Amino acid sequence: MLLNKGYDVHGIVRRVALEDETHRLWRIRKIIDNLTLHAASLESYASLVKIMQKIKPDEVYHLAAQSYVGYSFEDEFSTLNTNINGTHYVLSALKEFEQNVKYYFAASSEMFGKVKEVPQNELTPFYPRSPYGISKVTGFELTRNYREAYNLHASSGILFNHESPRRGFEFVTRKISFAVARIKNGMQKNIKLGNILSKRDWGFAKDYVEAMWLMLQKEKPGDYVIGTGQEHSVEEFANLAFSHVGLNYKDYIVTDKKLLRPSEVDSLIADSSKARKELGWKPTVNFNDLVKMMVESDLEYIKNNL
């Protein structure tokens, strides 16, 4: 999106990923020659200061994190460490660099956790239910504090789940769309899932990056909830995905207790009226089309890789 808008785009990548491009950088394969990648890490404050001073960015989009909620229970130490300190380091490095930079922080609907009101807006109190959710609340508060204390143009997008064919295979939507394509082609017999009753507000990632950019074009920074305002269960996602290839999901789902989370977020639904009003943002892809897009893309992927 930024390249299409004519931006000069820089990114930071850990050295370990730069050495394993095919495997680690597949999502940006098609545009990699148009980007400038720098070896740096969220875990190294010094590397971030160096990069900020070298590039002198106009806009910074901080999306990096250990973002898999389920895994955050298994490795809470590294999730909290990377997500909290990493965000602090980026903010502090920007403050050192003292320029008219605009900063975006990827906050998350996981901060609402055991929801205090329905739907959730920018004023809904947080009640995170995982180490990941807790790390995002801290990142959100750090961002707000840097905005208020140092007058930094720092905004947080409280993004609800956003999916696309580029989603990682560990997240439930892609796990299902990929399994559907494999089952349809006789490469897999069933799919193991955890809690299929939990509900999420699922939107299309491409719509959501537009919202991030719009936040940074505003004269004043702020916090914005971004979501579709519609919620669906994991079961509904599976039902639609399997029906798309003429199969009944009930014949293929196996419940695996190991995939249940120690504390779950049962239901999330966004009230993004502030973003709609102040940013003029609205989602363009509905749930049915999103599921269809992901299944179609995985059928194509299987066809090309068979």
Q: Report if residue 170 touches ligand F7E, rule: CB under 6 A.
A: yes
In the complex with ligand F7E, the residue whose CB is nearer, 153 or 199, is 199
CA atoms within 13 A on the CB side of 303: 6
In the complex with ligand F7E, the residue whose CB is nearer, 112 or 146, is 112
Active site residue 110: yes
Query: What is the spatial distance between Cα 198 and Cα 218, in angstroms, rounded to a whole number?
Result: 35
Query: What is the spatial distance between Cα 16 and Cα 18, in angstroms, rounded to a whole number?
Result: 6
In the complex with ligand F7E, the residue whose CB is nearer, 47 or 87, is 87
Beta strand segments in 118-226, E = 153-159, 162-163, 191-193, 199-200, 203-204, 223-226
State the DSSP code for 110: G
Q: Report if residue 230 touches ligand F7E, rule: CB under 6 A.
A: no
Candidates 28, 37, 70, 276; binder of ligand F7E (CB under 6 A) is 70
Give the chain's length.
306
Contact region with ligand F7E (CB under 6 A), list: 13-21, 54-62, 67-75, 274-282? 67-75
Site string for ligand F7E, 89-108 (x = CB under 6 A): -------------------x
Residue with tokens 């098609």: 30
In the complex with ligand F7E, the residue whose CB is nearer, 172 or 211, is 172
Active site residue 21: no
Contact region with ligand F7E (CB under 6 A), list: 94-102, 143-151, 259-267, 295-303? 259-267
Kindly report the number of other CB atoms within 10 A of residue 50's CB atom. 14
Query: Which entry of 103, 132, 224, 249 is annotated as an active-site residue?
Result: 132
| Cis peptide preceding 283, ω within 30 of 0 | no
Candidates 48, 69, 134, 211; binder of ligand F7E (CB under 6 A) is 69
Closest distance to ligand F7E from the beta carbon of 91 (Å)? 19
For residue 51, give both structure tokens.
Answer: 């990069």
CA atoms within 13 A on the CB side of 192: 6
H or E segment and range at residue 276: helix 273-278
Active site residue 92: no
Footprint on this chain of ligand F7E (rule: CB under 6 A): 67, 69-70, 108-110, 160-161, 170-173, 175, 193-196, 198, 200, 234, 259, 261, 264-265
Catalytic site positions = 108, 110, 132
